[in-house]
Amino acid sequence: MLIRTFELGPLMTNGYLLSEGGRALFVDPGGEPDEVLAVLKAEGLVLERVLVTHLHFDHIYGVAALSAATGASVCASADDAYLLETEVGRGGAMGFPRVDDFAFEPLTEGETEFIGQRCNVLATPGHTRGSLTFHFPEAGAAFVGDLIFSRAVGRTDFPGGSMPTLVRSVERRIFTLPPETVLYSGHGPATTVGDEMVHNPFFQPDGPGMRY
């Protein structure tokens, strides 16, 4: 499976195009998808799904446009629907534009398949109530949104956020994956499970995450 990164939208959010054998999906389109659409057209890829790790505005600005242009269905957690009633979900504050409306299919934890690839959908709340991680075991890849970054974790001061919950999600759902698993975050560089277990300060004995 080929994985390509696009930095999209006002916060340069990482979005990911996954493709295999002419089939494709996109994770977290955070801005206008023109660049993505150009790649799909040039390579003859059929976009089947748009997956959303969580419903913060910087991860969903391009959802409506990408879905409309390709016919791809959108999947997200119903536990994050509350965010679309807040500025952090719908946008429109601090000079940011409003998010265009879109419909999505509720996605719950469990094993499924996308573009012919086995995917474990993991419930990983903490950054938001409904944050999801998409783990593709054969590809050795997990798309974690803003749950965990290289040497950092997601903020928890927005509606539905909880640092103790986030720490538990990482320890129980992410750090139990194979250590070589690549973590593709919503911002910044990719990292690995093993690297974060050793070096992320939030998960060290005296780290900030241990105070909660």
Q: Domain ranges for the chain, please list them.
A: 2-211
Please give the average per-residue pLDDT across 48-56, as a whole number.
98
pLDDT higher at 159 or 204: 159
Q: What is the pLDDT, as a whole number, of residue 208?
A: 58
Calpha distance 29→8 (Å, rounded): 7
Q: 5-26: b or e for each residue (b if 16 or more CB lie within 10 Å)?
A: ebebbebebbbbbbbbeebbbb
Mean pLDDT over each residue of the chain, to the nearest integer: 95
Q: What is the pLDDT, as a whole number, of residue 182?
A: 98
Please give the average per-residue pLDDT across 118-132, as a whole number.
98
- Asked if residues 29 and 63 have their Cβ atoms less than 8 Å apart, the reply is yes
CATH number of 2-211: 3.60.15.10
Q: Tokens standing for 127?
A: 């950054």
pLDDT tier at 94 (50, 70, 90 boundaries)?
confident
Count Cβ atoms within 10 A of the Cβ of residue 113 and give its class: 0-12 exposed, 13-18 middle, 19 or more buried.
Answer: exposed
- Asked if residues 146 and 131 have their Cβ atoms less than 8 Å apart, the reply is yes
pLDDT tier at 207 (50, 70, 90 boundaries)?
low
Q: What is the pLDDT, as a whole number, of residue 95?
A: 86
- Asked if residues 62 and 8 have their Cβ atoms less than 8 Å apart, the reply is yes
- Beta bridge partners of residue 149, listed in sequence order: 152
- Asked if residues 125 and 82 have their Cβ atoms less than 8 Å apart, the reply is no
pTM of the model: 0.96
Q: What is the pLDDT, as a whole number, of residue 211?
A: 35
149 residue type, one letter: F
Please give the average per-residue pLDDT across 138-163, as a whole number.
96
**pLDDT > 90 fraction of the chain, expressed in percent and rounded:** 94
Residues in the chain: 212
Does position 170 have pLDDT exceeding 70, yes or no?
Answer: yes
Q: Tokens standing for 149?
A: 């970054």
Does position 22 have pLDDT exceeding 80, yes or no?
Answer: yes
Does position 196 have pLDDT exceeding 90, yes or no?
Answer: yes
DSSP state at residue 178 = -
